[in-house]
């Protein structure tokens, strides 16, 4: 029986956590059935490094943007810069962008400005926007909806762990929700219920590695191979076999991340 082929739709392979064994980490992902990975560039100064990782591995693609927690300390990215970066054949998404009022509420205004720039770049390139949202549900739903009314774009709510209202707002706009290791934590019953009430055609899986390792690796460094643990929880949630859920989420990924489609 062949192993289900999964996609880790969001990880950070350029982070120093992986410097000592990046090739081995990618090989372990393949061995665990993770056929493709999207590594996320969180500030444009890291773009050459991220591009090099993607260029060195057939199974690795990348997205680029300025993380909301870095917006205040980085030069404000322009739409033109993002559009230019997107010409790279392996750049498949815009971001991660978004709003984080948990750690960086004092930069809310510049975060919102940056978010709208990333949305415009997603519109122009037709690449999916990758959203980070923490403690900012109302502003996030408002901005995503306002901007969508100005011109449509596609989007994934990465590592979704917000409330039901933001989930519904995103789904109403045709967006996708991505399950991370948080969805596999024993205490995440409410979050699992939000995922379970969404259409399975709009679900992706990810690690956000090196963060948020799912059980049984919780509290340790996460890596793309562990996508399989979160996917197992997702399969249970939707009453599917592991193979069915892997096939469904891979098809969802191909639809959204069209440049990385298998």
Tell me the three state secondary structure of residue 47. Answer: helix
Q: Superfamily assignment of 6-260 in CATH?
A: Metal-dependent hydrolases (3.20.20.140)
The percent of residues above 70 in pLDDT, for the chain, comes to 98
At residue 61's C-alpha, the angle toward residues 59 and 63, to 5°, is: 165
- pLDDT surpassing 70 at residue 195: yes
Q: What is the pLDDT of residue 3?
A: 67
Per-residue b or e along 75-92, where b marks 16 or more CB atoms closer than 10 Å to that residue's CB: eebebebbbebbebebbb
What digits encode the pLDDT tens for the residues 121-138?
A: 999 999 999 999 999 999
- Could you tell me which of 46, 114, 55 has the C-alpha nearest to residue 89? 55
β-pair partners for 99: 133
- pLDDT surpassing 60 at residue 1: no
Q: Which two tokens stand for residue 160?
A: 């979704």
Burial class (CB in 10 A: 0-12, 13-18, 19+), 103: exposed
- The mean pLDDT value for 184-203 works out to 97
């Amino acid at each position: 029986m062949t192993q289900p082929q999964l996609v880790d739709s969001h990880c950070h392979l350029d982070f120093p956590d992986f410097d000592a064994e990046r090739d081995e980490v990618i090989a372990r992902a393949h061995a665990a059935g993770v056929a493709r990975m999207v590594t996320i560039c969180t500030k444009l100064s890291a773009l050459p490094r991220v591009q090099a990782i993607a260029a060195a591995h057939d199974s690795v693609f990348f997205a680029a943007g300025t993380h909301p927690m870095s917006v205040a300390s980085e030069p404000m990215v322009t739409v033109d810069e993002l559009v230019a970066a997107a010409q790279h054949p392996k750049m498949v998404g815009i971001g991660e962008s978004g709003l984080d009022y948990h750690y960086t509420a004092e930069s809310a205004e510049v975060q919102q400005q940056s978010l709208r720039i990333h949305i415009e770049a997603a519109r122009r390139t037709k690449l999916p926007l990758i959203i980070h949202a923490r403690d900012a549900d109302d502003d996030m739903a408002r901005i995503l909806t306002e901007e969508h009314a100005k011109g449509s774009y596609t989007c994934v709510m990465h590592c979704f762990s917000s409330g039901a209202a933001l989930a519904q707002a995103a789904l109403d706009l045709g967006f996708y929700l991505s399950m991370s290791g948080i969805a596999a934590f024993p205490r995440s019953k409410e979050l699992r219920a939000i995922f379970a009430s969404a259409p399975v055609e709009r679900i992706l899986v990810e690690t956000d590695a090196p963060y948020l390792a799912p059980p049984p690796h919780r509290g340790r460094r996460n890596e793309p191979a562990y996508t399989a643990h979160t996917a197992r929880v997702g399969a249970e949630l939707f009453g599917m076999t592991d193979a069915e859920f892997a096939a469904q989420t891979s098809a969802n990924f191909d639809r959204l991340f069209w440049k990385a489609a298998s």
